[in-house]
């Protein structure tokens, strides 16, 4: 999960924007759990400004800051609509990728974001959707032993790797920077083998699971759009995505020759 605020050894004056954001979002879990949808949206608007401010520092000065806020508020509204306090998930964490993703989706539509930046964001979005779905499912179960939790964490980490490889396979037209670890020839061979396994594993999924992943990854639909194509609500599409990715990881492991990392 993202660290919303990083600390450093040397102190610095805090901006009015940061102070406002903290005042707007420094609520305990009990307060948030009792808030209505509209109260959440109103209370966390400063949080949208904080995220938009950080993103604006990486963009051209020609990008209108108010546009970023407008896009981010769409993500905040989605988060408020989907948030369920009974799952005991921190709302700021829950909303973070939805706000950030909505801002980048808006920027992508305007042509302000590079393909590599967009591909990275899409991976983060897919990973976050998967983790959210798993957390919701685990919160509704009664399995809470330490051993179960350790196993669940291991499964999530492994499955995130499958999401990463599938995202790369779906975006193979994007060139990797030459100074990145992925440019190493040995790594490229492993990556190519992993992509072949992903494509083979996809054929073992049910038709509905395969179609959802094709829309969501290879056709670059949003999860809501992918679900709509299959006649599913976003919540059902989220559950189907989690199930399909877990099965995909399982099939990749079964198909992998000995010595190939999965």
| pLDDT tens string 101-112 | 889 888 877 877
SS3 content of the chain, % helix, strand, coil (to 5): 70, 0, 30
- Same fold for the domain at 16-113 and the one at 114-262? no
Q: Can you tell me the mean pLDDT for 135-140?
A: 68
Three-state DSSP at 161 gives helix
Tell me what pLDDT residue 122 has. Answer: 80
Band (66; pLDDT cuts 50, 70, 90): very high
pTM of the model: 0.61
Q: pLDDT at residue 9 above 70? A: no
Q: Which CATH number fits domain 114-262: 2.60.40.1220, 3.20.20.70, 1.20.1050.140, 1.10.10.10?
A: 1.10.10.10
Looking at CATH, the fold of the domain delimited by 16-113 is given as: Rna Polymerase Sigma Factor; Chain: A (1.10.1740)
The predicted-structure confidence for 90-134, as pLDDT tens digits, reads as follows: 888 888 888 988 898 888 778 777 767 777 778 888 888 888 887
Distance in angstroms (rounded) separating the CA atoms of residues 210 and 216 = 10
Listed by start position, the domains of the chain span 16-113, 114-262
Q: What is the pLDDT of residues 181-223, one digit of tens each?
A: 555 676 677 778 888 899 999 999 999 999 999 999 988 888 8
What CA–CA distance (Å, rounded) separates 6 from 158? 27
Give the number of other CB atoms < 10 A from CB of residue 68.
Answer: 25
* pLDDT confidence bin for 178, thresholds 50/70/90: very low
């Amino acid at each position: 999960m993202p660290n919303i605020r990083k600390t450093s050894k040397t102190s610095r004056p805090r901006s009015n924007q940061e102070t406002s954001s903290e005042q707007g979002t420094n609520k305990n879990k009990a307060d948030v759990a009792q808030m209505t949808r509209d109260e959440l949206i109103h209370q966390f608007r400063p949080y949208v400004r904080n995220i938009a401010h950080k993103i604006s520092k990486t963009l051209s000065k020609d990008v209108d800051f108010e546009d970023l806020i407008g896009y981010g508020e769409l993500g905040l509204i989605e988060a408020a609509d989907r948030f369920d306090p009974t799952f005991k998930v921190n709302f700021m964490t829950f909303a973070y990728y939805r706000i950030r993703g909505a801002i980048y989706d808006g920027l992508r539509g305007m042509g302000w974001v590079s393909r590599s930046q967009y591909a990275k964001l899409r991976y983060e979005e897919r990973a976050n959707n998967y983790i959210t779905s798993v957390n919701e499912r685990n919160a509704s179960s009664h399995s809470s032993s330490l051993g179960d939790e350790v196993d669940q964490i291991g499964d999530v980490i492994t499955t995130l790797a499958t999401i990463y490889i599938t995202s790369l396979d779906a975006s193979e037209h994007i060139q990797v920077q030459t100074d990145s670890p992925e440019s190493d020839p040995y790594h490229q061979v492993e990556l190519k083998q992993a992509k072949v396994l992903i494509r083979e594993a996809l054929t073992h999924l049910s038709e509905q699971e395969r179609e959802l992943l094709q829309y969501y990854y290879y056709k670059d639909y949003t999860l809501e759009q992918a679900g709509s194509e299959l006649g599913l609500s976003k919540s059902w599409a989220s559950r189907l995505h989690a199930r399909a990715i877990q099965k995909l990881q399982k099939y990749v492991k079964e198909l992998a020759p000995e010595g190939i990392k999965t």
